[in-house]
Amino acid sequence: MAKSGPEPSPAGTDELSQGRRAACFVQAAPNVLNFLLMMLGKKLGLIGLAVGGLALLTVLAVFARARFSAGRPQAWNSGAIETTLAGVRVRELDNTHAAVVFSYDLDNRTDTDYRLSSGPNVVIMSRLQPNGSLTSVQQVSLDSAAFVPARNRTRISLEVAHPFDWPSQRDAAAERQVRQFVADEVSGVQGFVLFDQSTRYQIELATASPELQRPPVSAGQR
């Protein structure tokens, strides 16, 4: 019987196994590295996608809020301009018409200059007694444009025109007739309200004093 070759020693077997494992590790290392890089890339992609989505949602929320704020009208500012009634007079327009002219001092309580002019952005309404309802039945017009500097006062005039037969003579009876005309114009009216849509100012303007609203005293009652 032929003799077999010498059997490998245990030490040689261990060295061979270690070499094989090292070779396998060297061969597997690139694959593992590629796998790890692929997983890291996917993770970074997911993170980038999440960040991009969050940024998009933020932009959409800001845009929607801006659109909502722009579409919603701003509240009226009734404290920016304060007013004081300076006087009431009657102006003859022609033989059958007269205008009651109300003069007011506008007090600008803000730190910004204010320009007031008649136009589509300015609406003047009457405030009725006793509940303060607003109406546009009475035609009220601004006499002229006005510039009200910051922390200053400027006088303006409002006119209300109505038919009126002027007396032929300027005597005491004519004066009583004119005073009654003014009293009739302010009867049942608390005042006027000017709405400036360009600045969102709401300007309250009181009407005539109680003395003008009292009916005239006839000569027999004096």
The pLDDT confidence band at residue 215, using thresholds 50, 70 and 90, is very low
Residues 105-118 pLDDT 10s: 999 999 999 999 99
Burial class of 214 by CB neighbour count within 10 A (0 to 12, 13 to 18, 19+): exposed
The pLDDT confidence band at residue 92, using thresholds 50, 70 and 90, is very high
Residues 123-153 pLDDT 10s: 999 999 989 999 998 889 999 999 999 999 9
Mean pLDDT of 90-98: 93
pLDDT, residue 71, reads: 60
Q: β-strands 134-135, 122-128: how paired? A: antiparallel
Sheet with 201-206: strands ordered across: 134-135, 122-128, 189-196, 201-206
Residue 89 is inside which H or E element, if any?
strand 81-94
Distance between CA atoms of 56 and 51, rounded to whole angstroms?
Answer: 9
pTM: 0.63
DSSP letters, 106-157, are EEE-SSS-EEE--STTEEEEEEETTT--EE-SS-EEESS-EEE-TT-EEEEE
pLDDT, residue 33, reads: 63
pLDDT, residue 26, reads: 53
